[in-house]
């Protein structure tokens, strides 16, 4: 005897398709029509515990207004006292990340077709006042016919999220795909930052690798702010131009959706999506409310902390851990570079070091040493500016007592952190 699966409304739940910290996605069948769906089951207690309720509610609100063939469709939302059920379009072809990892880069013809669909979907979102803010290969699914379906709108922004200056200010996204102006934390245009992410996706589709990548977070940031990724010679002139203009570090001169669609390379064999845009979501209000933070006390998620919410992602490669025994330590501070250098110099002199300064580097050596058979401690300190008010400090021991060096590192970290955020790398 075959045991039937659990029922939620008219949907019979089947096997699990995926699972995260606060949600589980199951295959489901409409018992009336026989149609397949993906049901995202969200535990209310988990989203409160993880403080991600605002993301869930934002995703529901966003998907309610989106109906496009290149965007995953939300068909219905149901709820019980303990769970929320999002009935979504079932997309069976996996995501672009898995596609590239398993089969490598795409041909320019195939890649352009998928890119055209991506731009169609993103352009539609922007016309609706929706800005995704976390576009990446993992959030671009493929259906059974190989067509693109954009998903995961938990970090999307709507018009009400703009401040008085007309810009967005929440730092979010995934490190390798995030636009430089988002990292700068001075406000950014949602449309332009999405285009940067689409440029990264196009680059990966056509080359099989990321345009900006480094195991060290500080170096990755510097590459993103500089722009100018290495572009293979074998790409066509049109593809090269498209990538360079989309990955322009200046959001003002960066290519727009209109500019992309007017480009000859993009228009080659372009078939715009034909669809009727209409309201399509049935939202059952029974106990569907989710507690949210007050709008005047938002939670700010750092771009590089955000992906830590996903249990399957290992962040260890993004950071260099503290290596005192290996003679080197790095940390991040948001103090001015000149203030950081002056503080380090003062501390070193108080500890009996002779200090030489050259630009953003200090060289220091102990003036006296009472340790028999042990030479004085020689070290260097250098400050690397990522952006204004975001600096990486690197301390490196050339030779000498490791214990004294460890004490110095601890003191500098503590003193810099008294009036500034310090993050060890």
Any binding-site annotation on 40?
Answer: yes
Structure tokens at 285: 């209000």
User: How many angstroms separate the Cα of 27 from the Cα of each of 3, 4, 7, 16, 74?
Assistant: 16, 13, 12, 6, 14
State how far the Cα of 188 lies from the Cα of 93, in Å rounded to an integer: 33
Q: Which residue has the tokens 């503590």?
A: 414
Burial of residue 89, with CB atoms counted within 10 A of its CB: 0-12 exposed, 13-18 middle, 19 or more buried: middle
Please give the positions annotated as active site. Answer: 134
Distance from chain centroid for Cα 139: 11
Task: Convert the chain into a string of H (helix), E (strand) and C (coil).
Answer: CCCCCCEECCEEEEEEEEECCCEEEEEEEECCCCCEEEEEEEEHHHHHHCCCHHHHHHHHHHHHCCCCCCECCEEEEEECCCEEEEEEECCCCCEHHHHHHHHCCCCHHHHHHHHHHHHHHHHHHHHCCCECCCCCHHHEEECCCCCEEECCCCCCECHHHCCCCCCECCCCCCHHHCCHHHHHCCCECHHHHHHHHHHHHHHHHHHCCCCCCCCCHHHHHHHHHHCCCCCCCCCCHHHHHHHHHHCCCCCCCCCCHHHHHHCHHHHCCCCCCCCCCCCCCEECCCCCCCCCCCCCCCCCCCHHHHHHHCCCCCCHHHCCCCECCCCEEEEEECCCHHHHHHHHHHHHHHCCEEEEEECCEEEEEECCCCCCCCCCCEEEEEEEEEECCEEEEEEEEEECCHHHHHHHHHHHHHHHHCCCCEEEC
d(CA 187, CA 194): 14
Q: How far apart are CA 168 and CA 148, in angstroms?
A: 27
In angstroms, the CA 108 to CA 150 distance is 21
Residue stretches of the annotated binding site for ATP: 40
Residues in the annotated binding site = 40
């Amino acid at each position: 005897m075959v045991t039937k699966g659990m029922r939620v409304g008219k949907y019979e739940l089947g096997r699990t398709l995926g699972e995260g910290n606060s949600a589980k996605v199951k295959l489901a069948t409409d018992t009336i029509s026989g149609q397949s769906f993906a049901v995202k089951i969200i535990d209310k207690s988990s989203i409160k515990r993880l403080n991600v309720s605002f993301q869930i509610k934002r995703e529901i609100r966003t998907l309610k207004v989106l109906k496009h063939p290149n965007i995953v469709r939300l068909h219905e939302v149901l709820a019980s006292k303990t769970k929320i059920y999002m009935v979504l379009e079932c997309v069976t072809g996996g995501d672009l990340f898995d596609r590239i990892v398993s089969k490598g880069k795409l041909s320019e013809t195939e890649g352009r077709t998928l890119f055209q669909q991506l731009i169609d979907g993103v352009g539609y979102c922007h016309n609706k006042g929706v800005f995704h803010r976390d576009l990446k290969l993992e959030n671009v699914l493929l259906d059974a016919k190989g067509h693109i379906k954009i998903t995961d709108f938990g970090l999307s922004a709507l018009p009400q999220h703009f401040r008085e200056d007309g810009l967005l200010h929440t730092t979010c996204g995934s490190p390798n795909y995030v636009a430089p102006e988002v990292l700068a934390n001075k406000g950014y245009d949602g449309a332009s930052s999405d285009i940067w992410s689409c440029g990264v996706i196009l680059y990966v589709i056509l080359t099989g690798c990321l345009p900006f990548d480094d195991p060290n977070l500080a170096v990755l940031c510097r590459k993103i702010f500089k722009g100018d990724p290495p572009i293979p010679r074998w790409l066509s002139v049109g593809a090269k131009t498209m990538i360079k203009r989309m990955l322009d570090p200046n959001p003002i001169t960066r290519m727009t959706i209109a500019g992309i669609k007017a480009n000859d390379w993009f228009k080659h064999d372009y078939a715009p999506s034909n669809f009727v845009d209409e309201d399509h979501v049935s939202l059952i209000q029974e106990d569907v409310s989710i507690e949210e933070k007050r709008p005047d006390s938002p939670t700010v998620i750092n771009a590089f902390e955000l992906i830590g919410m996903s249990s399957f992602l290992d962040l260890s490669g993004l950071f260099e851990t503290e290596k005192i025994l290996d003679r080197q330590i790095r940390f991040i501070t948001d103090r001015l570079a000149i203030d950081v250098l002056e503080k380090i110099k003062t501390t070193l002199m108080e500890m009996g070091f002779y200090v030489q300064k050259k630009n953003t580097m200090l060289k220091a050596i102990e003036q006296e040493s009472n340790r028999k058979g042990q030479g004085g401690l020689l070290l260097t300190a250098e400050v690397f500016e990522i952006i204004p008010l975001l600096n990486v400090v690197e301390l490196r021991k050339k030779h000498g007592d490791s214990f004294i060096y460890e004490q110095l590192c601890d003191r500098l970290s503590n003193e810099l952190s008294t009036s500034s955020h310090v993050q060890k790398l």
